[in-house]
Structure 1
Amino acid sequence: MVHIPITQLLPDFLGETIDGGRLKLVQRLGSGAYGIVYKALDTWSPPHKPVYFAVKCLKKYPVGEREAVFQARELKLHKMVSGHSNILTIHRDFTDGKHIFVVLDYCPGGDLFGVITNTRPFHRNTMLVKESFTQILDAVQHCHDRHIFHRDLKPENILCDAEGNNIRLADFGLSTQVGFCSDYGLGSPYYMSPESIAAEQHGSYSCRHSDIWALGVILTNMISGRNPWKVAKLEDECYLSYLGNRDFLLNSLPISKGANNLLKQCFDLHPEARPSIAQIREAILELDTFFLTDEELVHASSAQRVIAQYYATPTPEGELFSPHHSDQEGTHCDPQASGFPSPDPEEVYLYNTAPFDSPCLAPPAKIQSPGDSSSLSASDADSSSLSASDVSSAVSGRIDHPSVFHRFPAPTLKATQISEKLTSHPRNLWKRAMRRIRAMGI
């Protein structure tokens, strides 16, 4: 089935006034698999002190259809956590009958991806990394405390100011209240845990611990401007090198031993062995630095020095990258547009269909409704916010408590599997992995 980008299904509302004449859509900020986001002027605000919001426009689907179920779940779960200072606030939502409009905070700085790739303020700035990353941790902790698991943590879904501070976690389109699920292959490959990728696995994986893995990748992005690997599978040379030598990142990226030790814990192959968010927060605050010293850089590998030098230099103003959000879920922003070297021809994205069409998600249960409401409020979503795994797991009637689910053993790689894969590769595997990681900006 051919996937039609949502932008082709929605009219262009730029310049239109909505919400009873209150909001004027003055700028298009971006688009994704779900809809289009506009900057909106609050016409009720005083001219000398204008107030702006972000307005997300979605296509409205008939009640009970799977698309409507996913939209309702996203709104419901986002509203449940939007009161936190580090989570994007939903102010209200309404419909014109054909479309849904969600009014959100406007963050003029953009997203964390753009900050890392453009201004690069985190380079050798341990204090800023601590300030910003602990805000990310606090946002995710707030979600987990309410048994809401994001499942799509990545810099594009984290809004901030131009300095990389004042964090706001956003985009709850793949979030769930199910602690253990069998929806494999959701999200962006760079940030997915190995146990959440393998669709051939039977049983389920922990959404909580999968979020922890993604946090480790985000921290790697912030302190090095690079991804540790493209996808956590044996076929990926960087990931395979990491499995063969857990200090691969320490030897490949300009990061400190303390940062490397923390990342190794976040990337533990046994999900339950990964640290809790509270433990990560404590470790972050205790670290003296995330970076190599000048003396250490002198004796570092050429790849480490090149990466450090590149990340130290902000993108020239004329080449600033404006994050482009693909119309297909799971695809990554164009690394060429960000100023990073072009990825090698082997670059492949695994999951590039929108969640509504993804074979990884079975249709949710058909929702019986006495009638269509004018707006998708939290109460509207109460009975229509369950994915296939939500429905199958809700027999107990306690979908907000992951502890009630049967815990399947997490898939683990045997040492023999890793050894066989390592020996089957050429002897220059490590050198090839180093070359790839040099070119692999976030």
Structure 2
Amino acid sequence: MLTNTHINNYRLIKQIGSGAFGIVFLAEDFITGEEYAIKAVMKQHSGSADEGVRRSTILRTQLYHFFKSFQNRLYLPSVDLESIRTLSQEQLAHAPHYKELLMHLTVHTHEHVVTIHQVMESSLATFIVMDYITCDLFSAIVNEQVFAKDGLLIKKVFLQLCEVIFYCHRLGVYHCDLKPENILLDKWYNVHVCDFGLATPVPELAPNVCVGSSYYMAPERGSLGRELRAPTAAGDVWAIGIILINLVCICNPWVKADGLVDGTFRHFLTNPRVLMKILPITDEFYSILLQVLQLDPEHRSTLPVLMEAVANCEHFTVEGPLSTVERLSVEQYNRFLGDSYNVRSRKLCDDYYSEDDEFTTDDCGYDSDRVPHSLYGIGDNYLPRSLSGDGRCDTASSAAPELLLSTSLETNYSRDGRWLPNYAHL
């Protein structure tokens, strides 16, 4: 048993997730009573293991014997978080899991990134203490379907996601694995991005470099890869566009944006309006998707432009509760976002347009009737219509979802087993 082990002032309660190189535990600080997620990451990636055996399985066995040798009570030294920022590339090469930490620590003070509270070292693994947030976006979309009747909640979550990723990009952090499982939601449905295991500081990736999960991978990462290097940020923008479809339609448009292996995407390459056949979307929403699903990453929508379009969109679907959606006013925008966003985002917009004299912060929409929105955090007195009871998200989920790609058309989480639309009309 890996539970009921004490590491310093933390007691491991249960395992809540696992990935390619780590295991995540729910833990309690027995001094304060606060709950945290503790991720145990292998210090060395074994190359001798059978490829059919997941490294997390090996780590689980190793941890069992390691904990047992200390009678399930460990006292480990903490790592100074600031010192991680000073590691050289040579040092990171010998400790690759610290690259993830470095990327995460660069942006973790943002209110919509999961916070790292402590890093503890042992001879076997590194233990990372993070916020514990019980709900992920996948569960909220598919299992709970909390967005099915709430256009404002869709805008809230989507704009928060855009804003925090825009912030990451401005600090030179490109996530490269954006998907609903890596986006956590607190009890007020505020976004918290996690899992920077594939994040990179490289602004351009070599052609055909496959990074991320197939559903959310941009076409330049596959057979449509160009001879030139592609901007990494544009790959995150593509993934965000697919997540927008998830939020509105509760499905994915295709398994992979590669015409050689996916028939639906092959149709999209010749006729983008195929989206109108397989998704219940309006022309207005379709035009937004065209901006973000541009095949050429250089022509893909920027996040500020995408945020404005979604904030002002009044019709997501052709029928049902999302056929009429409130367009956000500047007052709503500022109320939802809060002061910390307004200060930070205005500076980011100033930096964003600083190289073009024709643009001012007015282009970010702060003083216009039509708002180019980014994140908005719901105040304490507002609960979305789709929330029940005390407004909490009761769906348990992993704080570090599985990183391995799935080629199945079904997921392990959806109640009805489908995560793709009906293609009968193609």
TM bin, normalised by shorter chain, reads: 0.5 to 0.7
Given the alignment of the two structures, is residue 251 of structure 1 paired with residue 277 of structure 2, yes or no?
Answer: yes
Structure 2 gap ranges (5+): 46-88, 324-385, 388-394
| Larger relative contact order (CA 8 Å, sep ≥ 6) | 1
Contact 2:224–2:258 (Cα < 8 Å) also in 1:
no
Aligned to 1:192: 217
1:60-101 superposed Cα distances (whole Å, 9 cap, x missing partner): 139969875431111001000000011111111111221100
CA drift at 1:250: 1.9
Give, in angstroms, the shift of residue 201 of structure 1. Answer: 5.1
- Deviation of residue 257 (structure 1)? 2.0
How far 1:204 moved relative to its partner?
Answer: 1.9
Deviation at 1:194, TM superposition (A): 0.6
Are 2:204 and 1:180 equivalent residues in the alignment? Answer: yes
* 1:341-392 CA distance string (max 9 Å, x none): 4689xxxxxxxxxxxxxxxxxxxxxxxxxxxxxxxxxxxxxxxxxxxxxxxx
Overall identity of the aligned pairs, in %: 29
- Number of the residue aligned with 1:231: 256
- In the alignment, which of 155, 161, 185 is matched to residue 180 of structure 2? 155
Does 1:338 pair with 2:338? no
Q: Is the 8 A contact 2:36 2:131 kept in 1?
A: yes
Q: Does 1:13 align with 2:19?
A: no
Label 1:278 to 1:172 Cα distance change in 2 as closer, same or farther (>3 A).
same
Q: Which of the residues 24, 34, 56 maps onto 1:37?
A: 24
Alpha-carbon displacement from aligned partner over 1:103-136 (angstroms, at most 9, x marks no partner) = 100102x211111111111113110001111111
CA–CA separation in structure 2 for the residues paired with 1:296 and 1:190:
24
Matched, 1:53 2:57: no
Give the letter for the 1:231 counterpart.
K
Distance 1:24 1:233 in 2: 46
- The answer to whether 1:262 aligns with 2:288 is yes
- Residue 200 of structure 1, CA deviation: 7.2
Q: Which amino acid is the alignment partner of residue 143 of structure 2?
A: N
Question: How far apart, CA to CA, are the structure 2 residues paired with 1:174 and 1:83?
Answer: 19
SS of structure 2 residue aligned to 1:159: strand
Residue pair 2:149, 2:321 contacting (<8 A) in 1 also: no
- TM-aligned CA distance change 1:264 to 1:223, over 3 Å: same
- What secondary structure is seen at the aligned counterpart in 1 of 2:423? helix
Does the 8 A contact of 1:132 with 1:167 survive in 2?
yes
Provide structure 1 residue ranges, at least 5 long, that are not aligned to the other structure.
1-11, 298-312, 315-319, 345-431, 438-442
Deviation of 1:224 after TM superposition, in Å, equals 0.5
Query: What one-letter code is carried by the residue in structure 2 that aligns with 1:267?
Result: L
Structure 1 equivalent of residue 116 of structure 2: 90
Matches within 5 A, 1:34-433: 34-45=21-32, 50-61=33-44, 68-108=94-134, 110-161=135-186, 165-182=189-206, 184-198=209-223, 202-235=227-260, 236-294=262-320, 329-331=404-406, 335-341=411-417
CA contact (8 A) 1:148 1:177 kept: yes
Out of 3, 6, 13, the residue aligned to residue 26 of structure 1 is 13
Query: Which stretch has the larger CA shift, 30-39 or 256-265?
Result: 256-265
Q: TM-score, normalised by structure 2?
A: 0.66
Give yes or no for contact 1:61–1:67 (8 Å, CA) kept in 2: no
Give 3-state SS (helix, strand or coil) of 1:209's partner.
helix
* SS of residue matched to 1:434: coil
CA deviation profile, 1:140-167 (whole Å, cap 9, x unmatched)? 011001011111110011001367x111
Equivalent-residue separation in structure 2 for 1:173 and 1:141 (angstroms): 18
Does structure 1 conserve the Cα–Cα contact (< 8 Å) formed by 2:25 and 2:38?
yes
Aligned pair count reads 311
- CA displacement at 1:190 relative to structure 2: 0.6
Q: Is the 8 A contact 2:219 2:225 kept in 1?
A: no
Distance in 1 of aligned mates of 2:193 and 2:126 = 21
* Residues 81/332 of structure 1: CA separation in 2 closer, same or farther (3 Å cut): farther
Query: Who is 1:370 aligned against?
Result: none
Contact 2:315 2:322 in 1 (8 A): no
Alignment correspondent of 2:350:
none
Is the Cα–Cα contact under 8 Å of residues 16 and 24 in structure 2 kept in the other structure? yes
Would you say the 8 A contact 1:213–1:266 is kept in 2?
yes
Could you tell me how far 1:323 is from its partner in structure 2?
6.6
Shift in CA distance, 143/296, structure 1 to aligned 2, threshold 3 Å: closer
| Contact in 2 for aligned 1:187/1:329 (Cα 8 Å) | no
Residue aligning to 1:417 = none
1:434 aligns with 2:417: no
Cα pair distance change 1:199/1:101, threshold 3 Å: farther
Q: CA deviation at 1:255?
A: 1.9
